[in-house]
Amino acid sequence: MVKNKVKELSKITTSIYHITFHSEIRSVYLFFKNCNFRCVGCIRKLSSWDLHLDNELLSALEKMYGNNLDSLKTLTLHELESVLSKIASYERVEAILGGGEPTVDPTLPEVLSILNKLSLVPRLLTNGFSLTKEIISLIKRMNGSIVISIKTVDKYLHKVYTGADIDPILRNLNLCNELGVDLMVETIYIPGLIESREIEEIASLISSINPEIPMRIDAYIPVPRAKWKSPSREQLDEALAVAKSLLKTVRVLYPQSKVKGRVEVLWPPLKK
């Protein structure tokens, strides 16, 4: 029976291609390959790999595997469980699911099941477009959390920047709040595109749903073939003040914010 289960898991492929472990903050990051958005300023245009890695590890990954996302191997469910079991002995490890967009992976319920088996607490980073009641409920039962990224509430601007409609995201934001899952909204300050006025509109929308929902404002990181620069600290502080006037909890991820401790590569292997 066990052998049959392992054989079954070894045949089912996820879209997870990269896993890193942040030992200092007890978090493992699962990178999903696919996405249903085509964001102009997507961070994956800089690298397919975790940008929190030091230059030595980034160079090693690029030398061994390249930087073409389409060509990178993805893990089976059995391989995923095997890799994650290496850090299962740590207490209260958070498993961050990002990429990429985890909710377009049909194996996401099975991935969450593996996390639950290994006592890893999920934190789903999502654009919110394809969120389902099933996934939200699963994460709530696991005492996990969901972070929905909302670039703008302007329908035209959202379509231009992401290639997708905003309405399904807003419906799913309301659904998350109704189901009572631990929830946060993230946005990005992009000078010349998404500034204090747009962030105020997002904060106002969140407040109309539930002013207790926290918000995080990230500094845009310039990527190739996009014209925008990173925001200044003054611009971010202005947006922070505006959002704080509408919401109870708001914080900013400033440019060059560093992760404490060393980030390790769990997958793909750096030695063959």
End-to-end CA, the chain: 32
Residue from 75, 46, 40, 74 nearest 62 by CA? 46
Alpha-carbon distance of 151 to 190, in angstroms, equals: 9
| SS3 at position 188 | strand
Unique residue bearing structure tokens 């030398």: 63
Euclidean distance between CA atoms 128 and 147, whole angstroms: 9
Q: What is the pTM of this model?
A: 0.94
The pLDDT tens digits along the chain (272 residues) read 445 455 566 689 999 999 999 988 899 999 999 999 999 999 999 999 999 999 999 999 999 999 999 999 999 999 999 999 989 888 889 999 998 999 999 999 999 999 999 999 999 999 999 999 999 999 999 999 999 999 999 999 999 999 999 999 999 999 999 999 999 999 999 999 999 999 999 999 999 999 999 999 999 999 998 999 999 999 999 999 999 999 999 999 998 767 778 899 999 999 76
Q: How far apart are alpha carbons 62 and 85 in whole angstroms?
A: 25
| Count of Cβ atoms closer than 10 Å to residue 5 Cβ | 10
Q: Tokens 């054989």 appear where?
A: 7
> Which amino acid is present at 265?
V
